[in-house]
Amino acid sequence: LAPLRQPWRYPGEPQALFSLSAPRWPVECEVIPETIEHIEWVPPKPEPFCPPMGQEQALCTLGEEQGTVVYHSSPVLQGSCFTRARVGGAPGPLSLPAAPLEGPQDTTLLFESRFESGNLQKAIKVGPYEYVLMLRPDLYTAKHTQWFYFRVQNTRQEPLYRFTIANMAKPKSLYGQGLRPLFYSQQDAQSCGIGWRRVGTDVCYYRGSAGEPPLFRLSWTMRFPHDGDTCFFATGYPYTYSDLGRYLRALAADPARSRYCTVRALCRSLAGNTVPLLTITSPGSTAGKRAVVLSARVHPGESGGSWAMRGFLDFLLSPHEDAQLLRRLFVFKVVPMLNPDGVVVGNSRCSLAGRDPNRAYGKALPGSFPSVWHLWAMVQRELAEREVVLYCDFHGHSRKNNVFMYGCDGGGDGTGTRLHQRVFPLMLSKNAPDKFSFSSCKFQVQKSKEGTGRVSMWRLGVSHSYTLEVAFSGSTLAGRSSHFSVEDLKSLGCLLCDTLLDFCDPAPAKLQQCLVEADALLQRRMDRGPGSGGSWSDVSPSELES
């Protein structure tokens, strides 16, 4: 249980060859022994958004005082901050958080969330087939209830069930615009090869409490496909620390891919979980090569970022001729999971420091935010050796549809520099017209975002530094009005590779075309026609985006 000691080394310098052990949990967390794994599956056709219910149609669901608690699992935290961790979490026998069934005729659902990335604190039965659910806040905080992932057993096929999560934190959500929860049936997976799919009718998101801060409710109805099934619900397609470990072990065991990809430990997290760093480039000298740095999962509840990163790695490590060209041109530094502790325990936003790591860049201490500190230091070391042409941090977004980017327009630079900031996202929108929305991109550098990876890397000297935001829901572009599948998310990584080649094409035609187009878009936004004599270059980014 003693904290892992690390030998002294230069900041950002990777450790020895990567070795991933079982996840380490805070000692307050109980963990069931079963291994939870899901098959990958792509629906045969896009899953449409559901018609959103208005707030006036929201049902007044009963609360805990009118029901029976049938599941309650909340870690008893030893103080207000993290102290120590171990594989398997809390020692000793597991408690029994679920009420036992009274017999075969008892139709009460059996809930469970004490597994990797799971989050459900309490379930209250308020009707024969109706449940009010409470999510666990991020560990060592009282906030950030958004991510959910839990198991139910003892299902019945015929009844219409209603579930209401009663303590969602955000006042606005894509659940109010047609987003539906994800559902997984173990019987369907085993017998039909069907994986995660969207379910729910009468999906409604509305204000629930009158207190401060207010809480919001997510409610949906559904019928289970089978009697006696084991099922799961989740906010997004789960991608756990163990999923990443399996992927990286397969990569290390592949003699072809491991020739141009090395996996090292960037550092260890507060709980002692390894933060892997991948270096991808063609064999031989790296002299004259520029660098590209990518990261994901600083916010653990944004699992779509991991699937986009998975697609990026799949393509870049493939024998495709464009992937070979990228490996010849660049040195890629990739941190696929910046916040493994948060992913393991099922947090939405924070690390075990109880704070958002994506507000700690530039001021983080290695003892509090080790992955953020070592990533920042690693980029600083890269900049001393070579140009870093691009930094991109993969995120998920809970309030806006489609995929878009946040960039860095400081407002004080010349017109050419400000236009260049917009070229990469504009190119990506052309390569992904049914997913990426250039009009949703923002480039203002707000004071509240100074501690983000995007702004911090830009301040270091990475001229093109972005946050890639992937909607929790899906796309409304090119005639679509449907959820993203896992395949959609993975395709984003491939499209990012295509766009990088376009962006760095030595032939200037594509770049010049996008510069002209970006200038025309900004002129139009300012209601100034081309040739009118006015210029947007003296207008601040906040005015441009207002």
Positions of the chain with pLDDT lower than 70, given as ranges: 1-19, 54-65, 78-79, 364, 527-535, 538, 546
Verify that 327 and 411 share a domain, yes or no.
Answer: yes
Verify that 248 and 116 share a domain, yes or no.
Answer: no
- Greatest alpha-carbon span in the chain: 81
Residue 5 lies in a domain: no
Out of 193, 212, 234, pick the residue that ends a domain: 234
The pTM of this model reads 0.94
Verify that 255 and 117 share a domain, yes or no.
Answer: no
Verify that 165 and 254 share a domain, yes or no.
Answer: no
Task: Summarize pLDDT for 128-180 with one digit per residue, the tens.
Answer: 999 999 999 999 999 999 999 999 999 999 999 999 999 999 999 999 999 99
Out of 199, 217, 234, pick the residue that ends a domain: 234
Residue 20 lies in a domain: no
CA 122 to chain centre: 24
Verify that 282 and 307 share a domain, yes or no.
Answer: yes
Active site residue 47: no
Q: Encoding tokens for residue 466?
A: 């972005």
Residue range of the domain that includes 294: 241-525
Q: Encoding tokens for residue 231?
A: 């099922």
Q: Is 287 helix (H, G, I), strand (E, B) or coil?
A: coil
Residues of the chain with pLDDT > 70, as a percent, come to 91
Task: Summarize pLDDT for 53-93 with one digit per residue, the tens.
Answer: 765 444 555 566 679 999 999 877 756 889 999 999 999 89
Q: Encoding tokens for residue 304?
A: 């779509």
Verify that 179 and 254 share a domain, yes or no.
Answer: no
Annotated active-site residue in 469, 487, 517, 545:
469
Verify that 250 and 178 share a domain, yes or no.
Answer: no
Return d(Cα 304, Cα 287) in angstroms, integer: 34
Out of 211, 234, 257, pick the residue that ends a domain: 234
Helix (H) or strand (E) run with residue 541 in it: helix 541-544
The CB density around residue 535, as the number of other CB atoms within 10 Å, is 13
Verify that 482 and 372 share a domain, yes or no.
Answer: yes
CATH of the domain at 347: 3.40.630.10
Residue 134 lies in a domain: yes
Confidence at residue 57, expressed as pLDDT on a 0 to 100 scale = 47
Verify that 424 and 383 share a domain, yes or no.
Answer: yes
Q: What are phi and psi of 457, to 5 degrees?
A: -65, -35
Strands (DSSP E) found in 93-215: 110-112, 122-127, 130-134, 149-153, 161-168, 182-185, 197-198, 201-207
Verify that 221 and 258 share a domain, yes or no.
Answer: no
Return d(Cα 240, Cα 218) in angstroms, integer: 24
User: In this structure, are strands 442-444 and 403-409 parallel, antiparallel, or unpaired?
Assistant: parallel
Q: Encoding tokens for residue 523?
A: 């002129």
Verify that 372 and 248 share a domain, yes or no.
Answer: yes
Kindly compute the dihedral angle of the four CA atoms of residues 445, 451, 452, 454, in this order, to the nearest 10 degrees: 60
Where helices occur in 386-485 by DSSP H, the ranges are 415-431, 453-460
- Answer for the pair 101, 108: CB distance below 8 angstroms, yes or no: yes
Residue 254 lies in a domain: yes
Number of separate domains in the chain: 2
Confidence at residue 157, expressed as pLDDT on a 0 to 100 scale = 97
Return d(Cα 427, Cα 421) in angstroms, integer: 11
| Residue 410 identity | G
Q: What are phi and psi of 113, to 5 degrees?
A: -145, 10
CATH of the domain at 57: 2.60.40.3120
Residue 404 lies in a domain: yes
Residue 155 lies in a domain: yes
Residue 140 lies in a domain: yes
- Answer for the pair 376, 362: CB distance below 8 angstroms, yes or no: yes
Verify that 354 and 251 share a domain, yes or no.
Answer: yes
Q: Encoding tokens for residue 318?
A: 């493939």
Residue 61 lies in a domain: yes
- Answer for the pair 274, 340: CB distance below 8 angstroms, yes or no: yes
Return d(Cα 170, Cα 189) in angstroms, integer: 33
What residues have CB less than 8 Å from 242, skipping those under 6 apart? 22, 23, 35, 116
Return d(Cα 25, Cα 33) in angstroms, integer: 13
Confidence at residue 2, expressed as pLDDT on a 0 to 100 scale = 33
Of 395, 408, 397, 298, the closest CA to residue 342 belongs to 298
